[in-house]
Amino acid sequence: MKRYRTVAVGKKVECRKFITTEPLGKSGETAEQKVWDAARLAFADRDCIAYWRYPIFSKVGEFRKEPDILIADLKLGLTIIEVKSIVIDQIVAINGHKWEFQNFYTTGGNPYQQAENQLFAILGYCDREMALRDRVRGRAIVALPLITQHQWHEKQFNKLPSCPPIIFKDDLESDLGLGTRDWELGTGEVGISSRAKQSLIQIIEQITPVIKGNKLSDEQWKLLQAVISGTPIFRPPPRKFYLGKTRASGEESNSIIHNSPSLSLLVKGEQKTLNPIPRAEVLAKLQNQLLTLDLQQEHIGKEIPPGPQRIRGIAGSGKTVLLCQKAAIMHLKHPDWDIALVFFSRSLYETIIEILDKYLRRFSYGEIGYNQNNAKLRAFHAWGAKNQPGLYSTLCRAAGVWSLSVNDTEFQQPNEALAYVCSHLLKSAKIPQIFDAILIDEGQDLIVNDELKFEGKQPFYWMAYQALRPVNSPMISPEIGGFFSSDLRRLIWAYDEAQSLESLNIPTASELFGDDLGHLVSGEYGNGIKKTEVMHKCYRTPGPILTAAHGIGMGLLRWEGMLTGITRVEDWEAIGYEVMGDNLAMENLEDLTDNSSIIGTNNLSIDKFKNGQKITLYRPSKNSPNLVPELWGSPVLEFQAYHSRIEELTALADNILYNLKVDSLRPSREILVIVLGSSFEAMELETYVANFLMERGIDVYIPSTPECNILKPDKESRDPNRFWCEGGVTVSRIHRAKGNEADMVYVIGFDNVAKDESNLSLRNQLFVALTRAKGWLRLSGIGAYPMYEEMWRVMESGDTFSFTFKRKPKREISVTDTGEILRRYGDGDRNFQGINLAGVELVGVNLQNANLIGANLQDADLRNAKLDGVRLVIANLSEADLSGASLRKAKLVGAILNDVQLNHADLSRADLSDVQLMNGQLVGAILKEANLSGADLSGANLQGANLEAVNFSDVNLTGAIMPDGTIFSGFI
């Protein structure tokens, strides 16, 4: 069995430690880009994280201004760089810290003082951590990318006593970030007596810190990065419990618990073996764990894309938190924008608003919180109620249309009813454009099956898209990404298709908006801002529970074969798994020669699972960093089958009592009971379980009821926003439990899934239930079913699944851009106009006759691809590798193919008129009867190429190597 290994031959290594929170490239930002590029180049090999426009908003006069550049570096500490894109003649005078300007957008400013204030604001957050208090070095610098050191000295500004440390144009001009200057150490004053060559790093090092600080230890450095990211706002308060002399609290009581290696408790006449430590002590220990920085989360949470963005994240990866952070930062950066954060389940209101408030206060230095009366930032559930507007009802009101209620539809499922009313609105009125950004959480819940679509589009998403104002740009530049994208709208949706409880359709762009807009979220916008992010780390659910959820949810170990899931290696890797398989792929693509054939021409991909193939999936612990399994030392996932429901619920009650009395868990938010089953049987089971627990003296809460121990609310007292009740253990059906979580989760009624084990919606219920757990989970059911054995085998597999791939599953899931384009092509879609697939690996792909007009395939790996008849008019294929590719009759009019690899490619009868093919490699290529009129092939290598009957009119072949090895000069 071979381990699959992705080898990016000659590709650029992605560096994500530089975060551009908004795309640079607007008019007037060229100079700022120069400073940012120099900083990225200078700090590329250092242990650091850097931001363009880090979101901390210190108040300066009537305005809020975030720092232009923030760099956190292990050795240098914190550096704030304030960029002023002014020429020397625009500075009228400098008096103290006050600068006076002319012919500028403002008449004055305090650039150094502003940078210093922002530095102190961030250091203030550092000082809240005892390990960092007064230990972090800090520097404030002004960058003048349009002013040379000589011009500054000619004005004699360097002689002013308040002259701040400055980075001049000279320091940024070299590709290596080198300039010529001399610092008088410790003063920040520039001299011109000598012109020593210094790097940007050296210049910063020689600036006297505002705060001297100390050298940081590795642990302090990790904590500093966490502070920068803002994660300490989610640190729970110190946990106190009374269980004798525990190692966590040191407090004493007369509890039955002692620090002994073997403990037991008599419960209902049965002697139970206890763990050496109670669960509450494990939770207390977790609070002391060092916070860590996740670079992908930093990009997602702090970047504002200039158009649509899709966030595909596995359960527990932090999608909801990141959407809240993104919405809060959008509001702080652009307080004039109208922003809606939308979610399906009303039980998430409390959670969403709490997180929004925390982020707003964190990044405004405590001055701004969430205000439900502020119409500029609104948390909406999808539909809307009488006393609580949602996105749909708000748009109805704006359009002057009467909004419909659930009673106005004939649909039983909430997502279907919502789709119906959205379609009705789309048919009844033109949707008013009243939002600048809409962010959608748990996007899979808003999907319906094809028969309920509106003109081939998902109704809710199309309604939301229509409600957005186009991004203020007549055309997105190639650097930002897109082809004549004049109507980009800032719709951002997050989802995990494995958590879909109703429709099994996957919320890709083509599914939401139709094939014509299927390219909207492929590739990048530039500056590292991706159109699609795939999150692979799970922070909430412990590794053993998450892998079991994937294994049982997809049916990986079913004797009949998997039911649903991922069938490509790249897609499995994208969600955090490593893949091994017999004959899965060649181990090292670097060994391939230009003539070698990688795969058969009928295959779509070299790494797609094939029938009869033995596959092993392994999830490394680094992608499931939850530490409960390590601290607990015993299994965190248990499954037990019982003869009757009474036995199952008796065990449930005993275990909850044990959690309350021995583990010292709190009933609300730390213990959760989830019941499984179809709508009616789950409703009955929910009531039965709650009543049973109440009879055993356990206070319970059923979501939407006004208080604990109420089984069914009346219409007037019902509170659909409520999921928890202080003092009560929540008992919930799966639809209400979605989006919520608890430390100890009990899942009841597994038999309701097992009796119909091939039902994907029921399997998804089980997946969602398992992934609600933050610490421990106990699954139970009654009777005996084959799926029980499957579950035990899944649990025994731990972090590694080995199975034989038997057949194509009912539903294939595509995660990456490559997987998505292959799926769409396989479904018959041929329109990929304007798609951005820069740097994507598409080795051996079959995209014959596809429309790729205006596509960005720069640096893409298309070796041995089958591209006959493909339309690549004005596409960008510079630096792409198409060695061995078949491009017969392809249309590449006006395409950019500079530095492309086309060795041994077949371009017979292809239209290459007016292409840019400078320095292209076409060794052994077949160009028989191709049209190259007007093309620029200067410096190209055509050695051994077949040029029979080629149209060479007006071709520039200056410096080109001809088939016979001679070098040509001039035009034909």
Whether the predicted pLDDT of 256 surpasses 50: no
Share of the chain above pLDDT 90, in %: 68
Least confident of 249-253, 656-660, 831-835, 912-916: 249-253
Give the orientation angle of helix 679-695 with respect to helix 645-661, to 10 degrees.
50
What pLDDT does residue 30 have? 84
Cβ atoms of residues 891 and 873 within 8 Å: yes
Whether the predicted pLDDT of 244 surpasses 80: no
What pLDDT does residue 219 have? 92
Is the pTM higher than 0.85? Answer: yes
Nearest Cα to 596, choosing from 71, 100, 9? 9
Segment 363-377 mean pLDDT? 92
What pLDDT does residue 174 have? 57
Cα dist from 286 to 237, 630, 948, whole Å? 11, 11, 71
Average pLDDT, the chain: 86
Segment 754-775 mean pLDDT? 95
- With bands split at pLDDT 50, 70 and 90, how would you rate the model's confidence at 175? very low
Whether the predicted pLDDT of 299 surpasses 60: yes
CA angle 724, 727, 732 (to 5 degrees): 40
Q: Which residues contact 775 (CB under 8 A, 6 or more apart)?
A: 279, 282, 283, 542, 628, 632, 636, 743, 744
pLDDT tens digits for 269-289?
Answer: 444 455 668 999 999 988 877
- With bands split at pLDDT 50, 70 and 90, how would you rate the model's confidence at 59? low
Segment 674-688 mean pLDDT? 95
Nearest Cα to 700, choosing from 735, 663, 746, 738? 746
Backbone phi and psi for residue 466, each to the nearest 5 degrees, phi listed first: -70, -25
Burial letters 117-131, b for 16+ CB under 10 A, else e: bbbbbbbebbeebee
Maximum Cα–Cα distance for the chain, whole Å? 98
Whether the predicted pLDDT of 448 surpasses 90: yes
Q: Which residues contact 777 (CB under 8 A, 6 or more apart)?
A: 545, 636, 637, 638, 744, 745, 746, 747, 770
What pLDDT does residue 265 have? 40
User: pLDDT higher for 64 or 731?
Assistant: 731
- With bands split at pLDDT 50, 70 and 90, how would you rate the model's confidence at 830? confident
- With bands split at pLDDT 50, 70 and 90, how would you rate the model's confidence at 961? very high
What pLDDT does residue 64 have? 61
Share of the chain above pLDDT 70, in %: 86
Whether the predicted pLDDT of 9 surpasses 70: no
Whether the predicted pLDDT of 6 surpasses 70: no
Give the orientation angle of helix 295-302 with respect to helix 218-229, to 10 degrees.
20
pLDDT tens digits for 386-442?
Answer: 889 999 999 999 999 999 998 899 988 889 999 999 999 999 999 999 999 999 999
Whether the predicted pLDDT of 757 surpasses 50: yes
- With bands split at pLDDT 50, 70 and 90, how would you rate the model's confidence at 822? confident
Segment 717-734 mean pLDDT? 95
Least confident of 119-123, 139-143, 800-804, 814-818: 814-818
User: pLDDT higher for 746 or 820?
Assistant: 746
Segment 219-231 mean pLDDT? 93
Whether the predicted pLDDT of 181 surpasses 90: no
Whether the predicted pLDDT of 599 surpasses 60: no
Cβ atoms of residues 968 and 959 within 8 Å: yes
Which class for 721: exposed (0-12), middle (13-18), buried (19 or more C-beta within 10 A)?
middle
What pLDDT does residue 583 have? 60
Question: Is residue 620 classed as helix, strand or coil in its secondary structure?
Answer: coil
- With bands split at pLDDT 50, 70 and 90, how would you rate the model's confidence at 27? low
What pLDDT does residue 246 have? 36
Which class for 201: exposed (0-12), middle (13-18), buried (19 or more C-beta within 10 A)?
middle
Nearest Cα to 45, choosing from 9, 13, 78? 13
Segment 202-214 mean pLDDT? 92
Q: Which residue has the tokens 């969602």?
A: 768
pLDDT tens digits for 97-114?
Answer: 899 999 988 888 899 999
pLDDT tens digits for 571-592?
Answer: 999 999 999 876 654 333 333 3
Nearest Cα to 492, choosing from 339, 309, 313? 309
Q: For residue 778, what are the β-bridge partners?
A: 638, 746
- With bands split at pLDDT 50, 70 and 90, how would you rate the model's confidence at 239? low
Segment 60-67 mean pLDDT? 66
- With bands split at pLDDT 50, 70 and 90, how would you rate the model's confidence at 500? confident
Segment 244-258 mean pLDDT? 34
What pLDDT does residue 106 have? 87
Whether the predicted pLDDT of 814 surpasses 50: yes
Segment 523-534 mean pLDDT? 86
Whether the predicted pLDDT of 970 surpasses 60: yes
Q: What is the rounded end-to-end Cα distance, in angstroms, of the chain?
A: 54
What pLDDT does residue 843 have? 84
Integer Cα distance of 917 and 939 in angstroms: 9
Whether the predicted pLDDT of 190 surpasses 50: no
Tokens representing 837 are 């697939």
Nearest Cα to 610, choosing from 415, 378, 373, 804? 804
Cβ atoms of residues 316 and 540 within 8 Å: yes
Least confident of 193-202, 625-634, 800-809: 193-202
